[in-house]
Chains A and B, each alone.
Chain A
C-alpha cells in the first residue's frame, strides 16, 4: 500500500485531493499546514507528498525543501497559474513535479503515478533494432527520434520488446498490461496493437501476428 501525504490549508481542496487519492487506492494522510505535515511525517511512513504552494506559515517551497532534505521522498507541488514563473523555485526546492491549479482529478492521478514510477520503477533501457525504450522517462526512440506514446501502448511494447521473438497470447497481454481485474475484452488489445504498428511503421521492428496464439515482436534484418 502506498501512503500519500496531502498538504493544503484550503479544507475543501484537501478534502477533494484526499478523496480522489483514496478512491484511486492510495492510503492518504491529510495535513492542513506545514507544521502539521512535519509532525505527521515524523510519525508515519510516507511514500509521496502532494503540497500546495500557497500556505500561511511554512509555505510549499519551504516544506518541499525540508521534506526532500529530511526524508528524501518525492513531492508534487500544487501551484496557481501566476506562480508558474516560480517553477524554477519549485524545482530547486526539490519538487519532482508540479500541477497548475485548477486541475482535474485525472491529471493529479496521472502525475502521482508518473512520479511513483519514476521513483520505484526500473531505469533500464531496452533496445530492439533501432527502437530504444527508456523505462525511466517512459519515452521511446525510433532511429533517434523521440516519441511519447500512451502508457498502455508503452507497457505493451515493453512487454513484447523485452522478449523479442516470443509470442504472447491476448490473455497474457491483458494480464500483464491491464492487470487481473481488467474487465475489457480482447478487442482492446487489437486496437492497441494496431496503433503500435502504425507508430512503428518506419522502424526496424515489427509486431507480427502469430496465428492462433497472439503477437510477437521481431527485428527486421
Chain B
C-alpha cells in the first residue's frame, strides 16, 4: 500500500472511529444526565394533558388526535379500550404489570427506566415502554395514558440537516485529505526518484521541493548530500586516474627494463644496473600502495578525541625507523618534551612517519636528523630538521600538492602522496604545518597542533 492510499485509509478509519466513540459517549451522557430530565419534562406535559382530559371540556379523542398531530404519541388503555393517537410506535409491547400499576393510580416513568444500551440512544427509541404514563379518568372510567414526544415528526427536518452536515463534513474532509496527501507525498516521490537515479550514478535529476517543513529540510539536506557525493565521486575518479598513472609508469619501466635484460650481450655491471632499476621501481609501487592504505584508513577512523602522547609516538617511530637511519648512516637527535594532544593516534603516527622517512630519504650519509617536541601553553610543536638536499622556494610552494614530486629523477621512492597526506591530517586536526628549506642546506618541517 503506498503512502497516498495509506493516508486516505488512515483518514477514513480515524473518522469512523471518532464517530463511533462520539456516539458511545453521547449515549452514556444521555443515559446518565439527560434521561431523567427528559422523563420529568414529559411527565409534566402528560399530567397537564390528563387534567385537561379529566376536566371534561371537549372530546377526549379529538384532544388526543390534535396533540398527536402536534407531535406526541399517545396510548390510551383500560376499561376494554386500547387506542393509539399520533405517530405509530415501532415496538408496541408493554407489560400488563405496568398497565395495571398505572390503573392503580401509579405513575410510570418509562423514559427514566429505559435500559441503557451501547448502540441505541433511549432518546430516539420509538417504543411503547419508552414513555411516561399516568392514570386518567374520563367520563367515570379509569384508563392508563402513556405518552412520548414523536421524535420522528418533530425532528424530521433536523435529521436531514444533520445528515447533510455530517455527509458534507465527511465528503469535504475526504477530498481535502486527498489533496493534502497528494501534496505531502509528491516531494517524497520526487526524492525517491532522485535517490533511484543516484543508484545509477546520475546526480542531475531536478528536485523542485521548496517547503519550509520537515520534508523541505529533508529535500535540502538530500540535495546537499547529493552534491557532496557527486563531488567526492569526481575527486575519486581523478584520484584513481592519478594513482593508475603512478602505478602504470613504474610498471612500464619495469617491463621495458626486463626486455632490456633479455639481451644476452649485456655485461654484468649493466645487468646489475638494470636489476637496481627494477628494484627501485618496485619500491616506488610499494611505497605508493602504503600511502594509499593510509588514505583508505582516513575515512574509517575519524575519531579525533583520543589523547595522543606525541612524545611517546615519536620515540616509538624513531625506534622503528632506526634500521633506516642506520642504513643511511644518519644520526638522530631527539629532544622530546612530554606532550599530549587530542586527535587521532593512527593518523598522527603516519604524519611523523612520513616526515621522518622524508628526512631520511633526502639526507646525505653521515647527516643528522633532529626531532624536537615542545609542549607550549596552548599547543604542541614538533620540529623535524634534516641536513639534506633541501628544496627551492618554488618546490616548497608545491610540496603539499597531491602527486607532486620535487625531482622525478631523485625521489625514486616517492609516491608524491606523503606530504599531501601529512597536510590533510594536520588540517583535520586544525593544526598547521610549515616547511622551511634551503637548497643543499636542509629542510625543517614545523608542525603545530
Q: Residues of A with Cβ closer than 8 Å to B?
A: 81-82, 84-85, 87, 99-100, 102, 106-107, 110-111, 114, 145-151, 153, 191, 194-195, 198-199
Given the complex of chains A and B, what is the CA–CA distance between A150 and B367 in angstroms? 11
Q: Which of B178-186, B226-234, B325-333 contacts A (4 or more CB under 8 A)?
A: B325-333
Min CB gap A118→B, angstroms: 12
| From B286, B326, B329, B332, contact of A147 by CB (8 A) | B332
B329–A150 touching, CB < 8 Å? yes
User: Given that A84-B346, A111-B323 are contacting pairs, would A146 and B334 also be in contact in the complex, using a CB cutoff of 8 Å?
Assistant: yes
User: Given that A145-B333, A194-B366 are contacting pairs, would A85 and B322 also be in contact in the complex, using a CB cutoff of 8 Å?
Assistant: no
B contact residues around A148 at 8 Å (CB) = 318, 322, 325, 331-334
Given the complex of chains A and B, what is the CA–CA distance between A82 and B346 in angstroms? 8
A147–B333 touching, CB < 8 Å? yes
B366–A106 touching, CB < 8 Å? no
A contact residues around B331 at 8 Å (CB) = 147-150, 153, 195, 199
Nearest B residue to A107, CB-CB: B323
Given the complex of chains A and B, what is the CA–CA distance between A99 and B317 in angstroms? 11
A145–B335 touching, CB < 8 Å? yes
Given the complex of chains A and B, what is the CA–CA distance between A145 and B372 in angstroms? 12
Find the residue from A87, A150, A191 having the highest chain B CB count within 10 A: A150
Nearest A residue to B318, CB-CB: A148
Given the complex of chains A and B, what is the CA–CA distance between A106 and B320 in angstroms? 12
A contact residues around B329 at 8 Å (CB) = 150, 153, 195
In the A-B complex, the 7 residue pairs with the smallest Cβ-Cβ separation, listed nearest first, are A110-B323, A195-B366, A148-B332, A149-B331, A150-B326, A147-B333, A107-B323
B318–A84 touching, CB < 8 Å? no
B323–A199 touching, CB < 8 Å? no
Given the complex of chains A and B, what is the CA–CA distance between A147 and B323 in angstroms? 15
Having A106-B327, A114-B322, A146-B334, one finds 16 other A-B pairs with CB under 8 Å, namely A84-B349, A99-B320, A100-B320, A102-B290, A107-B324, A110-B323, A110-B326, A145-B333, A148-B322, A148-B331, A150-B326, A150-B330, A153-B329, A191-B366, A194-B366, A195-B331
Nearest B residue to A100, CB-CB: B320
Nearest B residue to A150, CB-CB: B326
A contact residues around B333 at 8 Å (CB) = 145-148
In the complex, B293 has a CB within 8 A of chain A: yes
Chain B contacts with A in 181-204, Cβ cutoff 8 A: none
User: Given that A85-B346, A146-B333 are contacting pairs, would A198 and B366 also be in contact in the complex, using a CB cutoff of 8 Å?
Assistant: yes
B contact residues around A145 at 8 Å (CB) = 333, 335
A contact residues around B332 at 8 Å (CB) = 147-149
Chain B contacts with A in 330-352, Cβ cutoff 8 A: 330-335, 345-346, 349
A106–B297 touching, CB < 8 Å? no
In the complex, B50 has a CB within 8 A of chain A: no
Given the complex of chains A and B, what is the CA–CA distance between A195 and B331 in angstroms? 9
Find the residue from B286, B326, B330, B345 having the highest chain A CB count within 10 A: B326
User: Given that A110-B322, A111-B323, A194-B366 are contacting pairs, would A82 and B297 also be in contact in the complex, using a CB cutoff of 8 Å?
Assistant: yes
| From A81, A85, A153, contact of B293 by CB (8 A) | A81
User: Given that A100-B320, A147-B331, A195-B366 are contacting pairs, would A81 and B326 also be in contact in the complex, using a CB cutoff of 8 Å?
Assistant: no
Nearest B residue to A87, CB-CB: B316
Given the complex of chains A and B, what is the CA–CA distance between A147 and B330 in angstroms? 11
A contact residues around B322 at 8 Å (CB) = 110, 114, 148
In the complex, B310 has a CB within 8 A of chain A: no
In the complex, B384 has a CB within 8 A of chain A: no
Given the complex of chains A and B, what is the CA–CA distance between A182 and B59 in angstroms? 152
In the complex, B368 has a CB within 8 A of chain A: yes
Min CB gap B279→A, angstroms: 11
Given the complex of chains A and B, what is the CA–CA distance between A102 and B285 in angstroms? 13
Find the residue from A87, A145, A194, A195 having the highest chain B CB count within 10 A: A195
B contact residues around A199 at 8 Å (CB) = 331, 368
B contact residues around A147 at 8 Å (CB) = 331-333
B contact residues around A106 at 8 Å (CB) = 323, 327
> Could you list 6 A-B pairs, sorted by A, with CB under 8 Å?
A81-B293, A99-B320, A149-B331, A151-B326, A153-B329, A199-B368
Min CB gap B291→A, angstroms: 12
| From B293, B316, B325, contact of A150 by CB (8 A) | B325
Interface string of B343-363 (1 = CB under 8 A from A): 001100100000000000000
B contact residues around A191 at 8 Å (CB) = 365-366
A85–B325 touching, CB < 8 Å? no
Given the complex of chains A and B, what is the CA–CA distance between A150 and B297 in angstroms? 33
Min CB gap B328→A, angstroms: 8
A contact residues around B286 at 8 Å (CB) = 102
Given the complex of chains A and B, what is the CA–CA distance between A198 and B331 in angstroms? 11
Given the complex of chains A and B, what is the CA–CA distance between A164 and B93 in angstroms? 136
A contact residues around B335 at 8 Å (CB) = 145-146
Nearest A residue to B326, CB-CB: A150
Min CB gap B363→A, angstroms: 12
Min CB gap B147→A, angstroms: 94
Min CB gap B364→A, angstroms: 10
Nearest B residue to A113, CB-CB: B323
Nearest A residue to B286, CB-CB: A102
Given the complex of chains A and B, what is the CA–CA distance between A194 and B367 in angstroms? 11
Nearest A residue to B369, CB-CB: A148
Given the complex of chains A and B, what is the CA–CA distance between A194 and B293 in angstroms? 40
Given the complex of chains A and B, what is the CA–CA distance between A23 and B84 in angstroms? 126
